[in-house]
Amino acid sequence: LLARLITQSILTFLQTKLAWSSMNSGDCFILDLGLTIYVWNGASAGLMEKRKALDVARRIRDEERGGRAEMGVMEEGTMDPEFVKTLNAIADGTPKDICDPTDDTTFERISRDSVKLYRVSDASGSLEITEAGSYPLSRDLLDSNDAFILDTGSGGIFAWLGKKATKEEKKAAFKNAVDFIQQKKYPNWTHVTTVREGAETPLFKQNFSKWIGKNETTSLATGRVSTTTKVQPKFDVNKMHTKGSRESQHLVDDGSGNVQVWRIEDFEMAPVDPNMYGQFYGGDSYVILYTYVVNGKESYIIYFWQGQESSQDERSAAALHAVHLDDKYGGAPVQVRVVQGKEPDHFLLVFRGRMVVHSGGRASAFKNRF
């Protein structure tokens, strides 16, 4: 995950494409690799921006990683070779693509215009998705009885789960958050993150004014409520769900844990022969359960991999089964959506770096029917 600090009226981090060309000499960026977090400072970035970037990186380390992640600060022009090597391996382009300083005004305006909060509720007897607010948002818009979707455009989408939200509300929040990417034509690198009430991440909380939690005081803006607008809940139950306060999982271990793989066939999960693990078809979607041990306790990651040529119904089925698998394990797993060609490092480690994607795939049930 790469996040850019914009520095106009307030200091705000927005997720951006993982590419050297996304970086510019006038801003600060955070590169979050899970157990390693880098702060990258452009040559023309100001002291205030650098302090803010370092503060957010520390909060991610302490609040999301339990203080276990390592941190590094990189200055443009004196970047550590290991940092350059790491970013070259996962990002598009080269260091030569770093841009000159840019004016954040237009970028900030577009980003703010994209911020919308949606309530997901079945209190009326039927599931309804309504717009609850727009930028600037107030913390008290969130209600423990419901689930919410925070849409910040390509800067990231969050599914917030109230402590008293029903299972259907939570599932609807998952699916709608994912479908926003396609329906609103966001870039496929847009992140979808699930956060639980009481375990909100710094990148989520920064979108709300006067967010006050334990041992923190944050004030970013003043809130207002927009006119309530119905949003058609036309989404498939697709989605991801992150346990606790973890925003995303990357190198949680060396990939040596236990792996189970299923391919979506006729909307159901069909086990894949272990001898075929690492062999994927671009016309299919898959669900992968990864089990590893931390401090003597089993932890889980559910990846759902979506081939570029797989149909929408197959992708939706994969996301739905990921939710069902998550429920089976009592909500303990972390869910991660993986798009073909954008596989995270840990996903590749799970398959020992021997992942192969073949063309074609099994036709979906819809395709077979018509």
Contacts of 14 (CB under 8 A, 6+ apart): 3, 4, 6, 111, 152, 155, 156
Residue 130: CB atoms within 10 Å? 16
CATH number belonging to domain 2-107: 3.40.20.10
**pLDDT above 90 for 260:** yes
Q: Which residue has the higher pLDDT, 192 or 111?
A: 192
Interval 45-79: pLDDT, tens: 888 889 888 988 888 888 777 777 888 999 998 88
With residue 9 as reference, give the H or E element that holds it. none
pLDDT average, residue stretch 151-173: 88
**pLDDT above 60 for 11:** no
Whether 52 and 30 have beta carbons less than 8 Å apart is answered as no
Residue 297: CB atoms within 10 Å? 8
Interval 102-119: pLDDT, tens: 766 555 555 667 789 999
Q: Which residue has the higher pLDDT, 70 or 210?
A: 70
With residue 235 as reference, give the H or E element that holds it. none
**Rg, Å, the chain Cα set:** 20
Architecture of domain 115-231: 3-Layer(aba) Sandwich (3.40)
Q: Could you confirm whether domain 258-369 is CATH 3.40.20.10? A: yes
Report the residue count for the chain: 370
Q: Which residue has the higher pLDDT, 305 or 12?
A: 305
Average pLDDT along the chain = 79
pLDDT average, residue stretch 166-192: 85
pLDDT interval class at 230 (50, 70, 90)? very low
pLDDT average, residue stretch 91-102: 85
* Domain assignments of the chain as residue spans, ordered by start: 2-107, 115-231, 258-369
Identify how many contiguous H helices and E strands the chain contains and give both numbers: 8, 22
Nearest to 27 by CA among 35, 14, 17: 14
Same fold, 2-107 and 258-369: yes
The token duo for 136 is 């600037």
Nearest to 241 by CA among 343, 127, 319, 151: 319
**pLDDT above 70 for 245:** no
φ, ψ for residue 330 (rounded to 5)? 65, 25
Q: Which residue has the higher pLDDT, 29 or 7?
A: 29
Interval 279-313: pLDDT, tens: 899 899 999 999 998 778 888 999 999 888 888 77
pLDDT interval class at 128 (50, 70, 90)? very high
Query: Would you state the pLDDT for residue 320?
Result: 82
